[in-house]
Amino acid sequence: MKIRSLTARPILDSRGAWTIETAIELWNGARAKASAPQGKSTGKAEAPAIPAAAAIANTNDLLSSHAARVDFRDQASFDALLCEINGGSARAKVRLGSSATLAASVAFLRATAQSRGVPLWREVGAAYGEPLPSWADAAKPWLFANLVNGGLHAGNNLDFQEYLAIAKGRTFRESTEIIADLYRELGNALVRAKGKNARNVGDEGGYAPDFSSAEEPFRIMARLAKKLKLGNKVMFGMDAAATDVPRGARSRLGERYASFIRRYGLAYLEDPFGEEEFGKFAALTEKFGGEIWIAGDDLTTTNTNRMARALKEGSVNAVIVKPNQIGTVTLALDAVRAARRYGWAVIASHRSGETDDDFIADFAYGVRADGLKLGAPARGERIAKYNRLLEIEAEAAAA
């Protein structure tokens, strides 16, 4: 697989910030492109990014010239070149940055899939190369939809970042219907209770009005789920993003989470404490890990070294995998393999600053992640992921 051309250009993400889109053409005629999302609530251990203009210039110069000289064996060999050119993990040494390496990595994977005439998710599975979980034919990943936005993702009074509805339909179509119905009913209920401006949304498409308490979103969503007779087809969860919770609101966090779990049957809790508080994570996991998934994101940053520490300290039983946190498809797959060895649940995730690129849906299905965080069913960059999952379902059925 030799590269005829590799070029990058600037595009806007969903917050109006510049990011990178990379296009690759192979000598066999296959062409593909990919763009990189960007986070706002970011862990300090994430792979470093650099300004889009610098990343694009270095992609068009350094990466393009180096890549043209190599006949790549597979995805891993291409990603190894990306890491070599990138220059290291220290921010001062980085030449491409995580957004540029990811965009190139995904574009190469897409071109490879096109060359072989297979769907992208199947090429992801081939690169993963591990036996799929025993439930591989089930309708997973479950959909983790951020229906109420707070924290850094919204301008309201919620300290916690994401209030999640988790749909467990028998098909992606059913799960999408569950989320869409609940989202629509939630919007109507918020308008009745708080006025027409309650339909305003945050970065990930979730509603973002002010609330009377941190519990109110769960209380409203639980009532609506009962009204819609969703039963055990929907669960609730939270991404606290506690590193970014205001200092004055950090007292008694463990007690507040325990209350949410008891009152609303939370099945999932992400980043309940700060990104270096492995011990506090461990205490909460020891208490509730037999009942719910407690996941690391800022804690683990899709980094196998951080994940190994979390395993040693018993900090989590689930992990978020965000490919742009680590910079290449291969390194993201390494994180999935490590999580499976540890017996952890795997939740693939979008970012708050997204593009229309729907790769994360193929990634989640290709490794049969337990969950996929994809935002609310609103805003084009989020809808693209839902629609891709529906397309994947049809492709898998026809295979």
Position 26, amino acid: L
Q: H or E element: which one contains 24? A: strand 18-26
DSSP calls for 318-364: EEEE-HHHHSSHHHHHHHHHHHHHHT-EEEEE--SB--S--HHHHHH
Position 73, amino acid: R
Taking the CA of residue 53 as centre, how many other CA atoms within 13 Å lie in the half-sphere pointing to its CB?
0
Position 182, amino acid: L
Alpha helix ranges (H) inside the chain: 52-58, 64-67, 75-86, 97-116, 120-128, 172-194, 216-227, 253-264, 278-288, 304-313, 323-326, 329-342, 359-366, 380-398
Spatial separation of the C-alpha atoms in residues 378 and 8, rounded to whole Å = 28
Distance of CA 83 to the CA centre of its chain: 22
Q: Which residue in the list 140, 322, 373, 385 is annotated as catalytic?
A: 322
Has 204 been annotated as catalytic? Answer: yes
Has 322 been annotated as catalytic? Answer: yes
Q: Which residue in the list 123, 204, 270, 275 is annotated as catalytic?
A: 204
Question: Given the structure tokens 């995805």, which residue do they identify?
Answer: 75
- Which residues are the active-site residues? 204, 322
